[in-house]
Amino acid sequence: MLTVETPRKNAGALRRLGALPATALFRRREQAAPPPRPASGIECTMRGCSNHTAEPCAYRDRRQRSCTATICPAHGISLGGVAYCRRHAGTVQAIGELARDQSAYPDVDDRAPSLVDWIARDLDKDIRRLLARTARPGESVIADDAARLAHDFHRHARWERSWRLVEHTGPILTVTLHVTEDDDSQLHVRVGTEAVADGVPPWIARRREGQDVEAAIDISQRQLFYRYLEETISEAVARFRDRSDRLDQ
């Protein structure tokens, strides 16, 4: 059973391992192997896995619907001692504090919270830096650390994460990423009142089309996507500051 705080952090740890001398990777003494887990007889639903030691994913949404995935110890992710499939581990992590309340659990097939949270984590440092750079004396940056549920004027639900430039009188500028429950593959980016970008991330587009690409292509597509978002947000923040400068004069 893989126990991680976030899948990303785990990936980081693996990368860091690569830099260590080989001797640091191995323990001197063989540890006693844990007793083998009795086979549940249930097949793991992870593609390419033939283990028959799977258990159902523990995810239950707010309507008490459960996930149909069954996962073996090698492919499940344990959060607080509860084993989920990868997808729902992402959902539980995405909603942060909300995960304490069962009635807040997103619908079992809703990918919106994990998608917005995933992209927000990847952009977090850049957006903080960008807003900090544009901050004036007395202004500071505050940011969400999990996806929040919000509703638009038509009561349509969406999951969002925001970064705010604030001063003592209140917010000056908000950068928000959101994904709606109606279309949970489309990312929307807003800077202040301006909708600056929306689109389907390349890895989601490929999944929808059932496409597989080489890892190198995947990485370069992701990099392009993130660079596009960073540049778009950066330009919108600059435009906002330009306008407010002119108003100040």
Binding site for Zn ion (CB under 5 A): 44, 46, 49, 51, 57, 59, 67, 69, 72, 75, 85, 88
φ, ψ for residue 97, nearest 5 deg: -60, -30
> Toward Zn ion, which CB reaches closer, 82 or 166?
82
Contact 57, 70 (CB under 8 A): yes
The amino acid sitting at 34 is P
CB of 152 to Zn ion, least distance (A): 28
CB of 87 to Zn ion, least distance (A): 6
Maximal C-alpha separation, the chain? 74
Using alpha carbons only, give the angle 192, 140, 222 rounded to the nearest 5 degrees.
Answer: 60
The tokens 């999990």 sit on which residue?
146
CB of 249 to Zn ion, least distance (A): 55
> Toward Zn ion, which CB reaches closer, 37 or 243?
37
> Toward Zn ion, which CB reaches closer, 71 or 141?
71
CB of 62 to Zn ion, least distance (A): 15
- Helix count and strand count (H, E) for the chain: 5, 11
φ, ψ for residue 139, nearest 5 deg: -105, 145
CB of 70 to Zn ion, least distance (A): 9
> Toward Zn ion, which CB reaches closer, 73 or 199?
73
CB of 76 to Zn ion, least distance (A): 8
CB of 78 to Zn ion, least distance (A): 13
Q: How far apart are CA 26 and CA 98, in angstroms?
A: 39
Looking at the DSSP bridge assignments, the partners of residue 191 are 175, 194
The secondary structure of residue 99, as a DSSP letter, is G
Contact 73, 85 (CB under 8 A): no
> Toward Zn ion, which CB reaches closer, 110 or 160?
110
Q: How far apart are CA 15 and CA 240, in angstroms?
A: 38
> Toward Zn ion, which CB reaches closer, 57 or 131?
57
Contact 128, 76 (CB under 8 A): no
> Toward Zn ion, which CB reaches closer, 104 or 238?
104
